[in-house]
Each structure stands twice: as C-alpha cells, then as structure tokens.
Structure 1
Amino acid sequence: MTKQRRQLRRVQVEKAPRLGLIRPTPLGFTVTARLHDGQTPDDYEDALDKLAHAWRVHSVRLVSWQPGKVTLAATLVDPLETVAGLEVTADGLLRVRVGLLDNGNPYVIDFRTVPHWLNVGATQSGKSNLANALIKGLAPQPVALVGFDLKGGVEFTPYQARLSALATERAECAMLLADLVSIIRSRMELCRQHRVKNIWHPRLPDAIRPIPIVVLVDEMAELFLMADPKAEKEEVAAVATRLLRIAQLGRAFGIYLFVCGQRVGSDLGPGVTALRAQLTGRVCHMVNDDETAKMCLGDMDRRAVAAARQIEPNRPGTAVVMGSDSRWHLARSVHVLEEEAEAAAGRYADLAPSWSLLTGGPAIDVGELDESEVEEFTEPDLEDLPV
C-alpha cells in the first residue's frame, strides 16, 4: 500500500496552462495549450470566459483537442457586430450562404450535409428572416419548395409563385404530408429498380433523378396544439406520424425539412420530442423561455443553451447554430427584406415544378377542400412504411 502511494502523483486541475506558439488569424490568433496531469478539455471549456478577460480579447473558443493538448482560438473583435454588405447567395445545390459565423467563416445552411433543421426564436429575433434568406437562396436552384404556413398564410403567401404547394391549415398540411409520403414510396421503388440506396447515387441516370424538395414549416406548434382533443386527436396524430416518417426517411429520397417555431416544448406532445431527434441541424435565436432553448440545444451541448439565453434583443438575426461539425457557433444572418425574397420568388417562378409533376397525379388545390376530403386523408395509412 505504501509503495502504491509513492507511485501516485499529486495533480492540480486549477493550474496555469503551458502555451505553445501563438499563430495569427484574420480575426485574432490561435494557441495550443498542453494539458497538465488531471486536466481535461472540459476544464478549458469552463474557463473560456476567464481566459478572454485575462487576454483582453472579445472571446476565446476551444476549436479542437487531441490527447494531452487543446487548441484555443481568440477573437479580438466581434465579427457579428454587423453583417451589412454581405449577400445571401447560393453556394451549390441545396446550399445557401445566409450570414457569418463567430469565427469569420460563412454561415451556411447545407441540406445535403445536414438534411433537416429546427429553427426557433421569439418575435423579432430573426427566425422568419432566416426563412426569407433560404427562399431567396433556394429560388434560383433546381429544387421544389413546399410551404406549411400555420399563420394563415401570411408568412409564405408572398412567395407562392415559387412554391409548388402551400398549406395554411392543419387539415391541408395532413394532405400535403400524405402526398410527400407517397412521393417517398415512389422514389423508394425507383431506387430499388436501379439497385441504389438514395437518389444521389451515381448509378441513377440524371435524366430520371427526382427533383429535391425542401419543406418549409412555419409555427410548428400549431401542428400539435389541440383545442378539442376528442375532435382533433386523430388529425394531430396523423400529422405527427407523417412528419416524423418524412424526417426519418426523407434524406435518402431528396426531401428535406426546415421547421420553424416561436416556442417548442415537450408539453406539445411526444411527437415533438421524437421529431426533434431527427432534426439534427439546430438554430436557436433569442427565445422567451428556457424550455425552448433546452428543447432546441439541450440534447447537444449545455453550453450552447447558456449562450442562446444570453443573446441580446437588439441584435436580430443572431443565433446559436449547430450544424455539420457538431460544434455550436454564434452566427448572424443577413437581413433580407420581404420584398427581396418576394422578388426572387417571382423572378424564378418558372423553376417551380407543378405539384402534379412531383406526385405523378392530378394537381391538388389545397385552398378548396371540403370536409369529406379532409376526413379521407386523416385516416391512418402508413402501416406499410418502414420506420
């Protein structure tokens, strides 16, 4: 026992780091710190604010780590103070540059890398502005856009010229979701015939490659809220099931989700929690309650939740973003006027494929539904679709 004690060394976790060479960057500098015995990268994560004050810089982030050392990046000035002068641009198929990250890199929404996104934020936080930026950036691309606007159509109606379909009531959403599930089935059959696992496989001829579809959902909570549980339970269950199936299967078959909401919480039902797990891209603007920030970021990184709660109301468009690198960043989107997005939608209206072309059936006018049609589509019809 005495021999074993002699072999053990005292460790001090709270000990000054051993710094390596300081390397300049456009926004500041990076430096490598060697860990002392007993230290972990988490110890440096918890001390980043202290380091920023000690070094007299705007912020310090842990950007990478290896066994025995971590790399820290210091930013001298806030790159998100203003994003004026930047433009929303398409950056490849299903990629849109919408702003700037806190490390100076472009803020990109890339559906090919991260297929489904959850975007939350309070009124005037920049949530709707990000959706406008996406519409402006996706409008000139060969993709189909589908809108679910549970605010009665006030958000997406100005862009209807570029939308292949638009639903403004939950019953209409149920119909469109049923059609999207049917599209997935037909694309499954196409992939089986050509022995490929997804529509992007090189063996699938370009001439028959399906058109990718981006589904924009505004006010997700309205899909799950029930004023009369007895009358609306089946409809909500059908919507939740279909939306979840699309999130689980859509990536391989070219259907992508961008889901927005002012408030997202577990009290909306288990369907929301299950859907959240499939939305791997997260954008959290300023929110009014802790539950929404935790619902958006809590399963990813607790520090991201704290950062989101510190976003100031006088900086609209600022958000905590978690995307392809599985690390959170502060970001700010470019301000896009509604008139700019509407102009882009009108300019590229001819690129919007008809709904009948996408579904392979007759066009559906969701603005003229009767009660019998709604009841027909709310019946469960998804048992044969694999989870």
Structure 2
Amino acid sequence: MILSATASADSAGTGWSGWVLVVAAALVSGLLIAGPALRRRWPVAWWVCLGFPAAWLRVVRTWRPLMAGCGLALSRKAALTVVSGLVGNGAPPPQPRVPRRGLIRPTAGGFCLLVRLLPGQVPDDFAKVAPAMAHNWEVHAVRVSESRPGVVRIVASASDPLKEPRLPRQRGTGQMLRVVVGVLETGTRWVMDLRQIPHWLIVGATRSGKSTLINALVAGLARQPVALVGIDCEGGMELSLYRPRLSALATNRAQAVKLLGSLVDLTLDRMTLCREARVRNVWGLPEKKRPVPIVVIVDELAELFLVASRSEKEEAQAAGTALIRLAQLGAALGVFLVVAGQRVGSDLGPGVTALRAQLGGRVCHRVADPGTAEMALGDLNPDALHAAQSISPEAAGTAVLASADGWDRARSYLVSEEEAERVAEEYADLTPYLPELVGAGEEPSVVRLDRIDPNDLDD
C-alpha cells in the first residue's frame, strides 16, 4: 500500500510538472509569435516580457569577457599565477579581476545597473567603451555617468526613443509651470519645469526644431492660468501666432525696451509686496495676494543686440540690462525667461554673456556655427557640447539639454504652428490682464485674471 501511494504521488507530481512545462512553453511561443505586434502597439509591455530578459542574459553572459576585452579587468599578481601552476599541477591561472556590477534593473525602454570601479579606474574609462557595450548587448546606445565616488551608473536604451516621439494626450492643465515638451534619450518624458529651472536659453539654426519646441512649450503653458509675454523683434512673425493668449507683445526693439522696462518695474513692485509680507518669494504670499506668474518668451535674441547706429546701441544696452535684471530677480518673484535665437555669441556684446550666466537651463539644437553651441553649453559640460555638434541636419527636433545637474539628448514633440495657434485661441479666455503692461508693446485682447493658487491645480 505504501509503495502504491508513493508511486501515485510521484505520478501526480510528474503530471503537474509536465503541465507546467506545457503551459510555460505555450506562453513563450505565444509571446514570440505575437512579439512584433506587441512591440508596435505596446512597446513597454514587449520590453518587459521579451526584450529585457534577452538583454539581461546577454549582459550576464558577456560581462567578464567584455570587461577583459575593453581593458577594464585587472590581472592577478604574477606570484599567484606561479603558485597556481605549482600547486594546481598545471591548472589554468586565476581569472582576471573584473569590476563588480549590481542588479540589472529594467526601465521603460532599456535597463540600468551600477558598477563599482576597480582601483585606478575613473568613470571616463567606462564612458570610452560605451559603444562597445552597446554592440555587445545589442542595444541602441549606452550612457555612463558617475553615480557616487567609486561607482558609475550605466544606462542602456534598447531602441531610439527620439525617432518618433508621441505627443501624450493632454489631461487637464497639469502642474503649474510644468510642461512635457518631448522625450529624453532614456525614454522618459522631457519636462520643462520653470519652478525648478526658471530661465532657459534655446538655440538652433533654421529648421532645426527650435520653433517646434517653443510651440510645444506655449501649447502647454496656454492651458494654465499664467501670463505669457512675447518679444519678437522680427515684426512678430513667430510669436504673433499666439497673440490671443499673450498679455503683451513687442514686435520691434523700441517696443521691447519699453515692455522690458515695465516688466522690471512690475518685478520691483512684487519685491516690495514680498518684503512687506515678510516672505522670500511670491509663493509664500497668501492666496489672495499672490500675483500671476509671467513667462517672458524672447525670440531671436540677436535682434535685440545687433546695432547699426549710436541710438540703436543705447536701445540694445537698455534691453540687455533689463533682461539681466529680470533673470536675476524674476525667479523668486514669479517672472520667468525663455530666450531663443538662431545665433547667440559673445560678438553680440558683453550683455549676452552676462545674460547667459543667468539662464540655468540650456537647449541646443543643430546650429550653423560652433560659437553658438559653445555659448549655450561650453560652460556647463564639454561632453554635451560635443553631442550637440554631432547633431545631423536630418535629425530635426533633436537637441541637447543641459543644466547644472547634467545633460541629455532629447527631442521635442511635433506641435505644428496650426496646432499652437488653435490652442492659443482655445484658451484665450485665460489670458490675464496686467495693468502694469498696458501701453507697453502691442496690446492683445485680454480678460482679467488677478490671482491664482498653484496648489489648487491637479498634477
């Protein structure tokens, strides 16, 4: 009886194991067959189910030979090799010591891992062999950055997320002064958060994607109860598209000087308001006293600084001084700058260099001269400068963005001029009335919106 019961139990266990194997094989076969369709429609699900396990296996299998082949492994001491031959009776010498890696964690479109450096190694040693890692692991690109002293972070992208970025569906107004404008090379969203980085410099040649990025930014901000102010000294050819949503627009340098002067006065008034309330910024004011945030968009910065006569020189100096003051004072007082141009160089005058120092966020598309890329990124990161100079004319919309926290390659969503104009008209009723700017520049049609509370907005 006991033998019979044991045999029955073994038979049942064997049956269950067989069924598990059959089900597992069916699932794997189904995933492989449906893989192409799954990858097109649900790329993240495809990556988690199929792509990442295969990539994980390649990394584990090739880690030691890859490190040795790239010169990142350290040989054992010669004495150990001799002892191994004597004691082991001709046994093979000990394997070289390779950097120790951490867990391989999946991301939305790739994976990442931490690696501890061996004595004598620096992060640049790993950055130089990033292309070899990408080829061995069969991924699109590998980025290496320092995580902490002695440890580097390796981020791999399985495919090129910048190839066809998809504009997400807009739901509500979003968080105040925070707009998703594109996608990063890592596959994550490209977010321009003016509360975190208040002032931005955007450069790019004609048809490089600069205007598309501004369209995406304005389309996002137009849905929020903020004031948009435009300065376009090329007759308003670019920013006049958003006229229904602008609280003020200057279309030549004389108007720009007057408008910037009014903005400086408005900023000083807000400073007095904060000082009387004993708070350090406008966000610390009570709800009923909190002024509306203002985003100033300057298109073609060079038109403000190019001079041909003495009178124009005085106007350019006045405009540059006002912009610098807004950049220095505006972040705490609810005034934010987005400055764009095809060419930005030190030859435009010392005011441009002083202004550049106040613009913490930088975006560099393909540019026509190396000086513009140097002005945008040279003082932040040499690697970012090299990446920006490598952008090809076919990669319209691709850019390198940098700040004090690091740099990334990114691409903005394709927002056409027609779409940006439609959004500006749709949300024209949110345009705040700013009496301080009445008469400064051209005056669009406005409605009154005196106070806002950013904490009431949905994230």
Of 260, 264, 274, the match for 2:354: 274
Do structure 1's residue 258 and structure 2's residue 338 form an aligned pair?
yes
- Post-superposition CA distance 1:152-199 (Å, at most 9, x none): 111011211110000011111000110011001110110011000100
Match of 1:67 in 2: 149
Say which of 441, 444, 452 aligns to 1:366.
441
TM-score (norm 1): 0.86
Match of 2:417 in 1: 338
Q: For the residues of structure 2 that align with 1:342 and 1:37, how far apart are their CA atoms?
A: 58
Aligned counterparts of 1:135 and 1:15: Cα–Cα separation in 2? 47
Asked whether the equivalents of residues 108 and 188 of structure 2 are also in contact (C-alpha less than 8 Å), the reply is no
Q: Which amino acid aligns with 1:217?
A: V
SS at match of 1:364: coil
Q: What SS does the corresponding residue of 1:286 show, helix, strand or coil?
A: coil
Aligned mates of 1:137, 1:192 — CA distance in 2: 32
Matched, 1:136 2:215: no
Aligned twin of 2:377: 297
Shift of 1:354: 2.1
Q: What residue number does 1:385 align with?
A: none
Aligned to 2:392: 312
Does structure 2 retain, via aligned residues, the 8 Å contact 1:321–1:328?
yes
Mapped pair 1:237 → 2:317: yes
| Residue number among 297, 305, 308 corresponding to 1:224 in the alignment | 305
Matches within 5 A, 1:72-83: 72-83=154-165
Q: 1:127 to 1:101 in 2, by over 3 A?
A: same
* Alpha-carbon distance in structure 2 between the residues aligned to 1:367 and 1:60: 49
Structure-1 residue corresponding to 2:405: 326
The correspondence of residues 155-170 of structure 1 with structure 2, limited to 5 A, is 155-170=238-253
Select 1:287's aligned residue among 341, 358, 367: 367
Listed one character per residue, the Cα deviations across residues 306-363 of structure 1 (whole Å, up to 9, x for unaligned) are 111111222221110124x71111111110111111111111111112231xx1x7x2
In terms of fraction of residues, the more strand-rich structure is 1
Aligned residue runs from structure 1 range 86-105, under 5 A:
86-87=168-169, 90-105=173-188
Residues 41 and 65, structure 1, Cα contact 8 Å, conserved in 2: no
Decide whether the 8 Å contact of 2:131 with 2:142 is kept in 1.
yes
Residue 125 of structure 2 is aligned to residue 37 of structure 1: no
Map of 2:263 onto structure 1: 180
Q: What is the deviation of 1:255? A: 0.2
Say if 1:162 and 1:351, in contact at 8 Å, map to a contact too.
yes
Render the CA deviation track for 1:40-78: whole Å, top value 9, x for unaligned. Answer: 223323332343234332111124422222121111211
Deviation larger for 47-56 or 36-45: 47-56
SS in 2 for 1:91: coil
**SS of the counterpart of 2:383?**
helix
CA contact (8 A) 1:146 1:166 kept: yes
Residue matched to 2:134: 52
1:180-199 correspondence to structure 2 within 5 Å: 180-199=263-282
RMSD of aligned residue pairs (Cα, Å): 1.8
Q: Partner amino acid for 1:247? A: A
Distance 1:128 1:88, change over 3 A: farther
- Which structure features the higher share of helix residues? 2
Which digits, 9 at most, give the CA deviation of each residue in 1:258-295, with x for residues without a partner? 00000111111110011001100011111111111111
Give the conservation status (yes or no) of the 8 Å contact 1:88–1:98: no
Identity level (%): 53
Describe the SS at the equivalent of 1:200.
Answer: helix
Secondary structure, aligned partner of 1:343: helix
Residue from 422, 429, 434 that aligns with 1:355: 434
Q: Name 1:147's counterpart in structure 2.
A: 230
The C-alpha deviation readout for 1:86-122, integer Å capped at 9, x for no partner, is 3567530001101111111110111000000000001
Which residue does 1:15 correspond to in 2? 72
Q: For residue 304 of structure 2, what is the amino acid of its counterpart?
A: L
Pairs aligned (count): 348
Which has the higher mean CA deviation after the structures are superposed, 214-223 or 64-73? 64-73
Tell me, in whole angstroms, the C-alpha distance in 1 between the residues paired with 2:375 and 2:226. Answer: 30
Inter-CA distance 29–365: structure 2 relative to 1 (3 Å threshold): closer
Mark the structure with the bigger radius of gyration.
2
Q: Is the 8 A contact 1:153 1:168 kept in 2?
A: yes
Choose between structure 1 and 2 for higher RCO, CA contacts under 8 A separated by at least 6 residues. 1
Output the CA distance in 2 between the equivalents of 1:304 and 1:171: 36
Q: Where does the alignment leave 5 or more consecutive residues of structure 1 unmatched?
A: 1-12, 369-387
Which blocks of at least 5 consecutive residues in structure 2 are unaligned?
A: 1-69, 74-97, 444-459
Q: From the superposition, tell whether residues 70 and 366 of structure 1 become closer, same or farther in structure 2 (CA, over 3 Å).
A: closer
Letter matched to residue 298 of structure 2: V
Please identify, of 66-75 and 332-341, the stretch whose mean Cα deviation from structure 2 is larger.
Answer: 66-75
Judge which range, 272-281 or 230-239, deviates more. Answer: 230-239
